[in-house]
Amino acid sequence: MKKGFTLIELLIVITIIGILAVAFLPSVLGAPAKARDVQRISSIQKIATTLSTKAISGGLSAAFSAPAKFYCINAGTNLTITGDASTTPVTVGTPADFGGKLPSDPKKLIIQGGSNVACAAGEYLMQYMPTGYTYAIYGAVESADNGNMDCGTDTTKYIVTGGTTLSTPVATTYGCYAVLVQ
């Protein structure tokens, strides 16, 4: 007598494999976005720690004395804070402060703080607040579940796009993550 699988047995195994593939495929496909979100959140927390250290040492008090305003955190040669044309860039850290590599958004998302400033691709957003928490660092996350705040869809909140600066607000599929610095 020949030993082997019947057609019914093969169909049952193929069906089970198909069900398992459908169940696990979304989590496997979302893994790269989750990894980028983890990198963004880590970068924002490192920036906040560095900013806090710089603020404690008195290195930021003279730079930000204006009313509440948004700035961009630029990872060029050094990590600097820039704003509108009237803002003198302030160096926050060097590559050595961040383990040899300055933090920037891995997907080069653009985040805009109200109508005050639209950061370039890959930059994080900082808000100076003269009362309460002194600074807030914002970044975009690809999965809204990984964020800790609503980005909003009007020009008084934080707008995120996948590669273009907004002149008018639009709904976003991205979330935001913020760290407050006293």
**How confident is the model at residue 157, as a pLDDT?**
52
Average of per-residue pLDDT across 44-53: 84
Q: Residue 61 corresponds to which tokens in the numbers above?
A: 């008090």
Residue 108 — φ and ψ, nearest 5°? 60, 40
pLDDT of residue 44: 85
Other C-beta atoms lying within 10 Å of the C-beta of residue 96: 8
Q: How many CA atoms lie within 13 A of 81 on its CB side?
A: 25
Q: What is the 3-state secondary structure (H, E, C) of the chain?
A: CCCCCCHHHHHHHHHHHHHHHHHHHHHHHCHHHHHHHHHHHHHHHHHHHHHHHHHHCCCCCCCCCCCCEEEEEEECCCEEEECCCCCCCEEEECHHHHCCCCCCCCCCCEEEECCCEECCCCCEEEEECCCCCCEEEEEEECCHHHCCECCCCCCCCEEEECCCCCCCCCCCCCEEEEEEEC
* CA 116 from centroid of its chain's CA atoms: 19
Write down the pLDDT at residue 84.
62
Give the residue-averaged pLDDT of 11-31: 85
Are 6 and 112 a contacting pair, CB within 8 Å? no
Instruction: Report pTM.
Output: 0.69
- Give the pLDDT score at 147: 75
Mean pLDDT of the chain: 74
Q: Which of 27-36, 84-93, 164-173 has the lowest mean pLDDT?
A: 164-173
Give the C-alpha separation, 8 to 58, whole Å: 75
How far is Cα 19 from Cα 22, in angstroms, rounded to an integer?
A: 5
pLDDT at 98 over 50: yes
Over the stretch 101-124, which tens digit does the pLDDT of each residue have? 888 777 777 777 665 567 777 788
Report the pLDDT value the prediction gives residue 62, as an integer from 0 to 100: 58
- Looking at per-residue confidence, does 1 or 49 come out higher? 49
Confidence category of residue 60, pLDDT binned at 50, 70, 90: low
- pLDDT for residue 154: 45
Q: How far apart are CA 182 and CA 180, in angstroms?
A: 7
